[in-house]
Each structure stands twice: as structure tokens, then as C-alpha cells.
């Protein structure tokens, strides 16, 4: 797995801002081809340990940090990924490995010995950190995403809203798992790019009085369990 770090901006915006940005992005970029009617539901299960390592590193702004999650889309468990997000000096990268529904369920249930023998390096890494750092499934995070792509600069602009979480539940593959709104969570606009951000996108995402922030969906949902 190579180290490919990307720039990332996060902005907390209002619903009216979302409408404005959506119209601008439709004019200059294209929707993600995986979106249905321009959007999809993301459900993630985040990992942490008893000392809340991932949560504390985020809140404290630790310069080098990482977090693990299992994620799938539109409540369809046929495609599930284990992901590790890492940040270093304000830049981010993501590693990913496919999981079967059965493998994901076994991890949720704490049945993890099989992970040690996996040929997928990221699964082996999570196994080691579950064993030796005490990582375990912690919090379900749901939200709706509207994604846009602009090829020059490998730019991705996403609008995330309707942030929800489950109360003290980690059975994120259960279709009966009910989530609740995570308080008055804002709309989050994320802008990610490689070496440069084209001016056409820089101009399209500008909003008066809105500055780059560090909103964490995981941290907001941890308030509830």
C-alpha cells in the first residue's frame, strides 16, 4: 500500500449553502457514477479502544493519527470495505480492503482469529491493533452524501447531511438497526484534491463567512454512545 496523501478541506455549511453549492457543482463537475439520483447513504462502523484513542487524537488535533472503519452503501451488504484513514501534517490518505458480509459480521461479533491468516494486509493490521491496542467496534455513523467529481486535480467535492447514529449498538449490518439524528449536526462540505485545486472548483465552493474547519462525524456521534 503506497503513501498517497491528499489535501482536504472541511466546511460546516447551512442547508441553503448546500442548495447553492449543489447548483454550482452541477454546472462545473459531474456526479459520482455510483450515486443514485445524485446521492447515496453511507453506513460506517468506527473502531476505538477503551481509552478512546481515535476520539482523543481527533479532539486534541494530533499531527499523525489514524482511524479504522467498516463501510457500506445504501444498506446493501454485497460490497463492504474495511478502511483506514490516516492524517499527517494536515494531509489525508485512505487504505481499503474488501470484506465479505460474513467476515464483517465476524469482526462485529469479536470473532477475529481468522484475520491473522488473511492475505489482505489491512485486515492483518486491524487484527494486530484489536489484539494489542484494544481496538473494537464502537459507533455506527449514518449519513447521506451527494458526491461530485472533477478530473483535473483529481478533485472530489461531497455534501454530507442527515447525520445519524445508533445508541450503544454496533450491529451495523442488521437491517432493523435503527439510527437517530446526531443532534443539530450541520451539513458538511468536503473538498479533496491531489497536487492542485483548479480555480473553477476553488471559486465554486467559496461561501462568504465560511472557513475551513475540522468537523468529525465520528466525534459528533460518540456523544450518543
Q: Determine the pLDDT at residue 86.
A: 92
Cα 64 to Cα 91: distance, rounded to the nearest angstrom: 10
Cα 89 to Cα 178: distance, rounded to the nearest angstrom: 37
Q: Determine the pLDDT at residue 225.
A: 59
Q: Determine the pLDDT at residue 108.
A: 97
pTM, rounded to two decimals: 0.92
SS3 category, 74: coil
Nine-digit cell string for 152? 483535473
- Dihedral (CA of 191, 197, 202, 207) sign: positive
- Residue 157 · residue 201 · CB < 8 Å: yes
Q: Could you tell me the CA-to-CA distances from 56 to 13, 67, 103, 216, 218 in Å, in that order?
A: 25, 11, 28, 12, 11
Phi and psi, residue 124, nearest 5°: -60, -40
What are the helix (H) ranges across 13-139?
15-28, 53-60, 101-108, 121-132
Q: Determine the pLDDT at residue 175.
A: 86
Q: Determine the pLDDT at residue 3.
A: 62
Domains of the chain with bracketed CATH: 7-222 (3.20.100.30)
User: Distance between terminal CA atoms of the chain?
Assistant: 33
Cα 59 to Cα 197: distance, rounded to the nearest angstrom: 27
pLDDT beneath 50, residues of the chain: 1-2
Q: Each residue of 151-172: pLDDT tens digit?
A: 999 999 999 999 999 988 899 9
Q: Determine the pLDDT at residue 181.
A: 94
Amino acid at each position: 500500500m503506497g503513501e498517497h496523501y491528499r489535501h482536504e478541506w472541511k466546511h460546516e455549511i447551512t442547508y441553503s449553502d448546500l442548495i447553492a453549492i449543489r447548483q454550482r457543482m452541477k454546472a462545473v463537475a459531474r456526479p459520482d457514477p455510483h450515486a443514485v439520483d445524485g446521492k447515496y447513504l453511507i453506513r460506517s462502523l468506527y473502531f476505538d479502544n477503551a481509552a478512546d484513542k481515535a476520539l482523543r487524537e481527533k479532539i486534541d488535533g494530533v499531527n499523525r493519527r489514524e482511524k479504522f472503519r467498516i463501510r457500506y452503501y445504501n444498506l446493501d451488504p454485497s460490497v463492504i470495505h474495511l478502511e483506514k484513514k490516516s492524517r499527517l501534517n494536515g494531509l489525508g490518505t485512505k487504505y481499503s480492503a474488501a470484506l465479505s458480509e460474513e467476515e464483517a459480521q465476524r469482526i462485529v461479533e469479536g470473532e477475529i482469529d481468522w484475520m491473522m491468516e488473511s492475505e489482505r494486509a489491512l485486515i492483518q493490521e486491524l487484527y494486530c491493533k484489536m489484539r494489542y491496542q484494544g481496538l473494537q467496534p464502537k459507533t455506527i455513523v449514518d449519513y447521506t452524501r451527494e458526491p461530485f467529481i472533477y478530473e483535473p486535480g483529481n478533485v472530489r467535492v461531497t455534501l454530507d447531511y442527515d447525520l445519524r447514529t445508533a445508541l450503544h449498538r454496533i450491529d451495523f449490518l442488521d437491517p432493523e438497526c435503527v439510527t437517530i439524528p446526531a443532534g443539530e449536526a450541520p451539513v458538511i462540505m468536503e473538498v479533496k484534491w491531489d497536487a492542485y485545486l483548479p480555480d473553477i472548483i476553488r471559486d465554486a465552493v467559496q461561501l462568504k463567512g465560511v472557513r475551513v474547519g475540522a468537523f468529525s462525524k465520528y466525534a459528533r456521534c460518540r456523544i450518543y454512545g
